C-alpha cells in the first residue's frame, strides 16, 4: 500500500500563521505595556527640546571620555549636562543624580529631548541618552567609542530601556 499526503496546503497555512504571530509581537514594549514612540505634534516639541537635540547632534563623533563634559570628550551623563546647559538648564552631573532629579513625563510618548535611561549591567547600572525622534537617541556609549546615534529597534537597547524622564 502506498500512502500519499497532500500536506503542502497545510504547511503553507502553518507558515502564514506563524509569520502573523511573529509580526504581532513587534508592536509591544519590553515591559509588556504599550510604548508609543513619537506620535507627538510639533506644538509639543518646545524650542528648548529642539535645541538640546540640535546640540547633541552637533557632538556626534566626539570621543567618549569617562567623566567628560566638554567638547574634548563626553561620558553619557556629561553629554546630557552639556546639551542642557547650552539651553540654560542646570542639570546634575552624574547619571544617578539625573535619574533622581529628572521628572517622569505625564504622557505615553517620547518627545525629542527626553532622557532615555537604560540598565546595562552590573558594573554600570544606568546609562542615559537623549531622544532625537523616530526611535533614535544620541549618547556617549563607552570607552573607545564616540558620541553616536542608536536605535530603539536594536534589541540590546530596547530590552534595557527602563524609563524616559525629562528636565524640559
Active site residues: 76, 127, 139
Backbone torsions φ then ψ of 14, nearest 5 degrees: -65, -40
**Helix or strand (DSSP H, E) at 80:** helix 76-85
123 Cβ contact list (under 8 Å, min separation 6): none
Which three three-digit cell numbers place residue 13?
A: 497555512
Cα 5 to Cα 130: distance, rounded to the nearest angstrom: 57
Only one residue has cell 547619571, namely 95
Helix, strand, coil distribution of the chain in percent, nearest 5:
35, 20, 45
3-state SS, residue 98: helix
Strand order in the sheet with 115-118: 148-151, 136-139, 127-133, 115-118, 161-165
Amino acid at each position: 500500500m502506498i500512502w500519499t499526503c497532500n500536506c503542502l496546503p497545510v504547511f503553507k497555512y502553518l507558515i502564514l500563521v506563524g509569520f502573523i504571530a511573529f509580526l504581532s509581537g513587534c508592536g509591544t514594549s519590553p515591559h509588556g505595556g504599550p510604548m508609543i514612540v513619537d506620535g507627538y505634534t510639533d506644538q509639543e516639541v518646545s524650542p528648548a527640546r529642539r535645541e538640546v537635540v540640535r546640540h547633541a547632534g552637533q557632538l556626534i563623533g566626539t570621543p567618549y571620555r569617562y567623566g567628560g563634559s566638554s567638547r574634548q570628550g563626553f561620558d553619557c551623563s556629561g553629554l546630557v549636562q552639556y546639551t542642557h546647559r547650552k539651553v540654560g538648564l542646570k542639570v546634575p552631573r552624574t547619571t544617578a543624580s539625573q535619574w533622581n532629579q529628572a521628572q517622569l513625563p505625564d504622557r505615553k510618548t517620547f518627545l525629542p529631548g527626553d532622557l532615555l535611561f537604560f540598565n546595562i549591567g552590573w558594573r554600570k547600572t544606568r546609562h542615559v541618552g537623549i531622544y532625537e525622534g523616530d526611535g533614535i537617541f544620541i549618547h556617549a556609549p563607552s570607552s573607545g567609542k564616540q558620541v553616536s546615534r542608536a536605535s530603539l529597534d536594536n534589541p540590546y537597547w530596547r530590552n534595557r530601556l527602563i524609563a524616559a524622564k525629562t528636565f524640559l
